[in-house]
Amino acid sequence: MDYKIQVSKLKLYYGDVLALKKISLNVQPNSVLALIGPSGCGKSTFLKTINRMNDLVDGVKIEGEVLIDGDNIYHPNIDVVMLRKRIGMVFQRPNPFPKSIYENIAYGPKIHGLVKKNELDDVVEKSLRDAALWDEVKDRLHTSAMGLSGGQQQRLCIARLLAVEPDVLLMDEPCSALDPISTMKIEELVTELKSNYTIIMVTHNMQQAARVSDYTAFFLNGEMVEYDETDAIFTRPQDKRTEDYITGRFG
Amino acid sequence: MVTTRQNYDNELTKLKQDLLNMGTCVSRAIKDSVTSLAQKDIELARQVIDGDDIIDKMQVDIEEKCMVLIARQQPMARDLRVLGTGLKITTDLERMGDHAYDIAKISLLIANQQLIKPLIDIPRMAGLAQKMVNDSLEAYVNLDIALAEQVCSADDEVDSLYQQMLRELLTYMMEDPRTISQATQLIFVARYLERIADHATNIAEWVIYLETGERVRMN
């Protein structure tokens, strides 16, 4: 089995502070990996190392390797813009462009020159369908995306990613600002999308990790304490710290 | 201040206590049922029969408690195993209670008959089965894996006693057909005791799972 993502001995410093302590983990293609842990444990920082979002932060130093499809993404020859096209990211709060729904989706394919103008309509429809949003917005494609509900905006952001045909999706607490129904829709979507993408999701919601992920990694103080199949983590964790965290005995 | 987690822990402790109370009642019922048989004590047999409703109610209460805790707390890891095994153990206990009830019914049936043979193996088997039940409960309380494993291995002895009694009673029946009616009842008793020992083994296996997260199949 070839891993989609291979991380080995990854260390990340914010100035002098070691924020990720020698993380090594492999991610299977077409799986969902959930990252759990208390605030400040490094899970979001880790997520951002996968598409080099941390490059934008001053004073960050990274050691170790992150391979995607066998390529080291920290190699000097890597085109970071192309990397972030391959590895899309969804954030805690939906962040659509203040443009029409159509323009939000069409923007990426246009700037990357992925499609001819006459194919754009198809790409927009397909992306919205894949993000389970098409039926709700097909009659208002040219109205502002800002008029959508929070859950719809989040699915729009996912559709916007899908339009540039990535193969890894990073999600940083994608449901934390959403109501339960919208949360359920995103979770269903994640389950759908995993047949075509590899997904890594940071979540504070343990039940969400248990519901949607195939693998779960527990982070604490910059260390990856435990990484296993989700079934095992939530029924028989091996490390006492994992047990204490997932059963609410922390702090 | 009592935290949410402390409340939850208190509920889990209470659940364990309820299971132990149920286990104590069941263990008592098994003992009394066999005593009623050996001593032809109709009164004691009736007590066991009436007491079964109480055991059944305990099971319903424990199940209800588990379901409510699952709904309200969404248990994980050990908490999940405590609740999952709680549901299984209460079922095993209830089945044992039913078998005690069945034995007490047979006590009533043959109380006015002369025994076809002195009861030696049945009390012996009952003693073993009861020890297994008590040990499995003790293993549960103390999360004692060594004791749980001991319970599982004791089951072989009960099984071989059962086989031995079966052969013996078959011999009685072949020699004298007039014994068939009572011998059949005694075979049932032996069978119930053998089943009780199996349920005690199940409990011991659940204790091992509760503590280690690993499923074992000992018998």
Domains, chain B, with CATH or none = 4-212 (1.20.58.220)
Least confident interval from A51-60, A131-140, A145-154:
A51-60
Helices (runs of H) and strands (runs of E) counted in chain B? 6, 0
pLDDT over threshold 90, residue A106: yes
pLDDT over threshold 90, residue A65: yes
Residue B110: alpha-carbon gap to chain centroid: 23
CA dihedral B87, B89, B94, B96 (to 10 degrees): 160
pLDDT over threshold 80, residue B218: no
ipTM: 0.77
pLDDT over threshold 90, residue B2: no
Query: Residue A214 — very low, low, confident or very high, per pLDDT cuts 50/70/90?
Result: very high
Our CA-based measurement puts residue B214 at a distance from the nearest CA of chain A, in whole angstroms, of: 8
pLDDT over threshold 70, residue A1: no
Over range B123-140, report the average pLDDT. 95
Whether residues B214 and A210 touch (CB distance < 8 A) is answered with no
3-state secondary structure of B79: helix
Closest by Cβ to B5, choosing from A206, A243, A249: A249
pLDDT at residue number A251: 52
Minimal Cα distance from A209: which residue of B? B76
Over range A46-70, report the average pLDDT. 94
pLDDT over threshold 70, residue B97: yes
How many residue contacts between A and B have a Cβ separation below 8 Å?
Answer: 32
Whether residues B78 and A249 touch (CB distance < 8 A) is answered with no
Query: Residue B219 — very low, low, confident or very high, per pLDDT cuts 50/70/90?
Result: low
Start-to-end CA span in chain A (Å): 39
Q: pTM of the entire structure?
A: 0.86
CATH architecture of the domain A5-246 equals: 3-Layer(aba) Sandwich (3.40)
Mean of the per-residue pLDDT values of chain A: 94
**Tens digit of each residue's pLDDT (9 = 90 or more) over A218-245:** 999 999 999 999 999 999 999 999 999 9
Our CA-based measurement puts residue A243 at a distance from the nearest CA of chain B, in whole angstroms, of: 6
pLDDT at residue number A117: 81
The rounded distance, in Å, linking the Cα atoms of A35 and A209 is 8
Whether residues A247 and B213 touch (CB distance < 8 A) is answered with no
Our CA-based measurement puts residue A6 at a distance from the nearest CA of chain B, in whole angstroms, of: 28
**Chain A residues within 8 A of B83 when measuring between CB atoms:** none
Over range A103-109, report the average pLDDT. 95
Listed by start position, the domains of chain A span 5-246
Our CA-based measurement puts residue B141 at a distance from the nearest CA of chain A, in whole angstroms, of: 20
* Best residue of B76, B214, B215 to probe chain A, by most A CBs closer than 10 Å: B76
**Tens digit of each residue's pLDDT (9 = 90 or more) over B172-204:** 999 999 999 999 999 999 999 999 999 999 999
